Amino acid sequence: MKRKKRPLGPVVEIVLMAIFVSILCLIFNLIDLSGYKTEAGTFETTLIIINNIFSKEGIKHLLNNTLVNFQTLEPLILVIVSLIAISVMEASGLLKQVFTPFKSIKSKYITMLVIFVGIISTIIGDYSYALLLPLAGIFYKYIGKNSSLGVLTMFIGITAGYGTGIIYNYQAYELGNITELAAQSITASYNYELLSNIFLLIVSTLALTIVGTIVMEIFGKKYSRNEVTDNLNISKKASRVTLIVFIILMILFAYCIIPGLPHSGILLDKTEPTYIGKLFGTGSILSHGLMILIVGILIICGFVYGIISKNIKNSGNYSKVLTKSFEGTGYIFVLLFFSNILYEIIDWTNFSTVISTNIIDFVGATQISGVGLVILAFISIVLISVLIPASVEKWQLIAPIYVPLLMRANISPAFTQTIFIAADSIGKLFSPIYIYLIITVGFMYKYEKDADESIFTIMKKIMPVIGIMLLVWIVVVLGWYLTGMPIGINSSITL
């Protein structure tokens, strides 16, 4: 009998990717492969070359910076902080109280809820991954579904709809500023409005939610169900008191982000012209402290519920419950350590940047227009997103070329940014270097310790899901382009 071939495992895959990228960079360095980066606003070009990591300078950089940068790796910090809050809520019985009633709801509605929450949660940016991936696993546990499937469903919901949804986040504000600068090379008076593509984004949110529910329901049949074995108490009195505390805390929070009232808005950056800028601008207390505020509210609510329900016995017991959700998550930190080495190599060698600028230049040199240009722009952004998952960094590379290019083809900057948002979300879904895919794999290992899952086996499994999500975005984007409907308030596809 032929033995089943076991996957290499995520750590080995990351190490092999690091070696592969390093060898490619050596070859590209020898043949002098380079690219030109165009700055938005100034439109000055900078020559970017691929560096050789095997050089003295490369090895020195790797040894000097790997640990330093790992200590400041933002996703690592976000995961640790969010797990502290979730630990309290889980051990106190609060999550069991909140999630158990959903057990009677049909599976398809649960899937729809998770995907929709994932899409709209991106108003808080990458914090959505750190909070919702572990929560999805616990949610599925208490409703008797597979926790690993819950984590994967939430990842697909957040990522496929990243940048869309019905509520804007600070990333949309930043992307809009870059779009505006790029467009002003053609039309000096152009101003980007945040609501300029709101109609299209609302429709895409609904389409992604519905189609995502259908495909994930089919995909989810492969996963076995969970059995809940904890003996935590559920208390109606505790839930009522906790709800009152939560409402009070949210009112205080809301008062701190509402401008114009007596002593209100203390968390805002009042120098910014727009409300989104006030909320998440670089000078905003909220933008730097949002995760702490969220975690603080969750910890307080968990503590209140735990004390009243007697799931938390005393202060000594409370100290222990702070680590509840860390059980089985060690693999996440191992994956992030090795991933950090891969990211250091990619960053220092300029590998992704140079390859991406060559793709951008190729598109910029084409003479295609109309539907062909829209499709080419979409596909090229998907490919670039695999190499550079970071949205703002990527748009800074792309916008100075694509926005003027599509404007010359009578396509508005707002629609070009929408094409970017759509393609960006699809590219992230199957980028093996996307850090939140790595974290998703780590959380799946928490619940499937004996599974033969790896980065590429998971990507292979969900490829049909990604393909259907890709088709949804293409249908929405091309459908809007061909019909010429307004994409937002006082905004159209054409100039």
Q: Given this model, what pLDDT does residue 17 score?
A: 93
Strand, helix or coil for residue 367:
coil
What would the DSSP string read from start to end of 236-293? HHHHHHHHHHHHHHHHHHHHHT-TTSTT--TTS-TTSSSHHHHHHSTT-HHHHHHHHH
Task: Extract the tokens encoding 107.
Answer: 């599976």
Residue that the structure tokens 């990522």 belong to: 159
Burial of 491 (0-12, 13-18, 19+ CB in 10 A): buried
**Full-model pTM:** 0.90
Give residue 1's pLDDT: 42
- What does the angle CA 479 – CA 434 – CA 211 come to, to the nearest 5 degrees? 35
DSSP label of 325: G
Count CB neighbours of 34 within 10 A.
15
Residue of 125, 153, 158, 155 lying closest to 140 (CA atoms): 153
In one-letter notation, the amino acid at residue 287 is: S
Residue 109 half-sphere exposure toward CB, CA atoms < 13 A: 6
Residues 412, 413, 419, 421, CA torsion sign:
negative
DSSP states along 416-465: HHHHHHHHHHHHHHT-TT-HHHHHHHHHHHHH-TT----HHHHHHHHHHH
* pLDDT tens digit at each of 495 positions of the chain: 445 566 678 889 999 999 999 999 999 999 999 999 887 766 788 899 999 999 999 999 999 988 888 888 888 999 999 999 999 999 889 999 999 999 999 999 999 999 999 998 888 888 899 999 999 999 999 998 989 899 999 999 999 888 776 666 777 888 888 999 999 988 888 888 878 888 888 899 999 999 999 999 998 887 777 666 677 888 899 999 999 999 999 999 999 988 888 888 898 888 887 777 788 777 788 877 888 898 899 999 998 999 999 888 766 666 677 787 888 888 899 999 999 999 999 999 999 999 999 999 999 888 888 899 999 999 999 999 999 999 999 999 999 999 999 999 999 999 999 999 999 999 999 898 999 999 998 898 888 765 566 788 888 888 888 899 999 999 999 999 999 888 888 888 887
Enter the tokens of residue 426. 């699809």
Residue with tokens 């010429």: 484
